Amino acid sequence: MDHFEYRGGVLHAEDVPLPVIAAEVGTPVYVYSRATLTRHARVFRDALSVLPKVHLAFAVKSNPNLAVLKVLAAEGYGADVVSAGELDRALAAGILAAEVVFSGVGKTAREMRRALEAGCGQFNLESEEEGCELAEIAHAMGLVATATLRINPDVDAGTHEKISTGKAENKFGVPYDRAAGIYARLAALPGLAMRGIALHIGSQLSSLDPLEAAFTKAGALMRAIRAEGHSVTHMDLGGGVGVPYKAGEVFPQPAEYAAMVARVTKDWDATLMFEPGRVITGNTGVLLTEVVRVKDGAVHPWVVVDAAMNDLARPAMYDAWHDFAAVAPDGTRITANIVGPICESSDTFAKARDIDTVRRGELAVFRTAGAYGATMANTYNSRPMVPEVMVDGDKWAVVADRIEPSTILSAERVPSWLE
Ligand code: LLP
């Protein structure tokens, strides 16, 4: 459920008509609904309240906007970060360092030091090598790093191969059958306090079955590690719960997810940690765009919009579907291809899609663009960096400026030997 609805034939974000935002900020622009964000944060949190001990770490990568993080911090979320940059954002939003989980397969020594200085609550280690390096750095700083070991459970998440992370062929975690040995060796290192196991098998999962299989394997490993005399107090179950992108699609609800977790983990006696991203932010945003022109095509017309693959990369990268809707539909439909202005054919949002009829100068949205939207934007073709707006009831504000190509150009230098 979201708060992007038609009133009087015009699409609104909460109480704000989208044409008002387009007129003042220009397009393309991401528009977030604070009410939707808060609602999703609460639904997920409340669903998990059936579990005894829970820690929520919002996956910052899904939407790192400072205003978004502020809202989630106020809802009691910690943060799952994968770079010093994300750590700084989480701290800037008021999330306590102790509530931050540092994930990622390539944490640098500099990032480890920065996170240790800040007091980062947990490092999710992706290898024995990384654990040894972190232990050495922490020990030299006179600190002890709290850590979990990320395992690769070799479970097929059944999602797009580019966002699948829990198969043996993926770079993430340590092989399941070597994990107990690695855990024992890391637990013996000064500078490191091993407290649990972490896993994350992929994103945009449409079924709970692979998650259940992975959690079950993690539970068995937890028992084996405890049987060898090591402490396991925290189990980080990652993110991955998918959201519907097409009207009418049905996905597992947070309550069903929580019921499955409760069943699998009932005798674990551990703090359960979660790293949700998309399920919190996906439906929170739309990408508002203007139709540049409609060009005649060999089979179907080309609707050329002013948003492009640099603003919303998901269709080009993962063949992802985002519903497209006119802001002021006239009730008629056409079959068309929807493309951006960038000079490559991957800049395609939809092929032969049945859509609201749109004409030059009219506004439209790509829905469910709040997760992995603005955060993956770039300036390819020397286009501006797309801005972001947050709506709250009848109030709205620009929460990330459009960065003009001239600003980016001004950061470039011609060396004297080329003058
Ligand atoms: N935890 C870890 C360790 C992760 O790698 C991720 C996402 C998450 C949590 C959050 O997963 P979520 O709950 O959002 O599924 N750019 C892609 C998605 C990449 C996901 C990367 N990792 C997309 O647009 O679909």
Residue 228: predicted pLDDT: 97
Tell me which residue has its CA closest to atom 23 in ligand 1: 372
Index of the ligand 1 atom closest to the CA of residue 275 = 9
Least confident among 68-77, 217-226, 244-253, 259-268? 244-253
Q: How confident is the model at residue 247 (pLDDT cuts 50, 70, 90)?
A: confident
Residue 97: predicted pLDDT: 98
- Amino acid identity of residue 247, one-letter, is A
Cβ–ligand 1 contact at 195 (below 6 Å): no
The CATH H-level superfamily of 4-32+282-410 is Lyase, Ornithine Decarboxylase; Chain A, domain 1 (2.40.37.10)
CA distance 218 to 221: 5
- Per-residue pLDDT, averaged over 357-379, amounts to 98
Sort strands 395-400 and 388-392 into parallel, antiparallel or unpaired.
antiparallel
- pLDDT of 133 > 90? The answer is yes
Residue 371: predicted pLDDT: 98
Residue 255: predicted pLDDT: 97
pLDDT more than 90, % of the chain: 96
Cβ–ligand 1 contact at 126 (below 6 Å): no
**Cβ atoms of 273 and 101 closer than 8 Å:** yes
Cβ–ligand 1 contact at 275 (below 6 Å): yes
- Per-residue pLDDT, averaged over 157-166, amounts to 89
Q: How confident is the model at residue 89 (pLDDT cuts 50, 70, 90)?
A: very high
Residue 204: predicted pLDDT: 96
120 is catalytic: no
Question: Do the first three CATH levels of 4-32+282-410 and 34-278 match, i.e. the same topology?
Answer: no
User: Ligand 1 centre and the CA of 173: distance in Å?
Assistant: 15
Tell me which residue has its CA closest to atom 24 in ligand 1: 372
In testing the pocket of ligand 1, which one of 30, 48, 62 has its CB within 8 Å of the most ligand atoms? 62
CA distance 165 to 162: 8
Q: How confident is the model at residue 16 (pLDDT cuts 50, 70, 90)?
A: very high
How confident is the model over 53-62, as pLDDT tens digits?
999 999 999 9
Q: How confident is the model at residue 127 (pLDDT cuts 50, 70, 90)?
A: very high
User: Ligand 1 centre and the CA of 329: distance in Å?
Assistant: 33
Place of tokens 């639904």: 43
Cβ–ligand 1 contact at 238 (below 6 Å): yes
Q: How many CB atoms lie within 10 A of CB 110?
A: 10
Index of the ligand 1 atom closest to the CA of residue 376 = 16
**Cβ atoms of 368 and 357 closer than 8 Å:** no
User: Ligand 1 centre and the CA of 277: distance in Å?
Assistant: 6
Place of tokens 């479970």: 155
How confident is the model over 169-193, as pLDDT tens digits?
999 999 999 999 999 999 999 999 9
Residue 18: predicted pLDDT: 98
- pLDDT of 82 > 90? The answer is yes
Index of the ligand 1 atom closest to the CA of residue 103 = 3
User: Ligand 1 centre and the CA of 62: distance in Å?
Assistant: 7
Q: What tokens appear for 364 in the block?
A: 């439209």
Domain map (residue ranges) of the chain: 4-32+282-410, 34-278
- Amino acid identity of residue 241, one-letter, is V
- Amino acid identity of residue 129, one-letter, is E
How confident is the model over 292-351, as pLDDT tens digits?
999 999 999 999 999 999 999 999 999 999 999 999 999 999 999 999 999 999 999 999
Average pLDDT score over the chain: 97
Which pTM was predicted?
Answer: 0.97
Q: Which fold has domain 34-278?
A: TIM Barrel (3.20.20)
User: Ligand 1 centre and the CA of 167: distance in Å?
Assistant: 15
- pLDDT of 1 > 90? The answer is no
Of 343, 409, 411, 418, the catalytic one is: 343
Index of the ligand 1 atom closest to the CA of residue 240 = 15
Cβ–ligand 1 contact at 315 (below 6 Å): no
Residue 318: predicted pLDDT: 97
SS (H, E, C) the chain: CCCEEEECCEEEECCEEHHHHHHHHCCCEEEEEHHHHHHHHHHHHHHHCCCCCEEEEEEHHHCCCHHHHHHHHHCCCEEEECCHHHHHHHHHCCCCHHHEEECCCCCCHHHHHHHHHHCCCEEEECCHHHHHHHHHHHHHCCCCEEEEEEEECCCCCCCCHHHECCCCCCCCCEEHHHHHHHHHHHHCCCCEEEEEEECCCECCECCCHHHHHHHHHHHHHHHHHHHCCCCCCEEECCCCECCCCCCCCCCCCHHHHHHHHHHHCCCCCCEEEECCCHHHHHHHEEEEEEEEEEECCCCCCEEEECCCCCCCCHHHHHCCCCCEEECCCCCCEEEEEEECCCCCCCCEEEEEEEEECCCCCCEEEECCCCCCCHHHCCCHHHCCECCEEEEECCEEEEEECCECHHHHHCCCCCCHHHC
Cβ–ligand 1 contact at 191 (below 6 Å): no
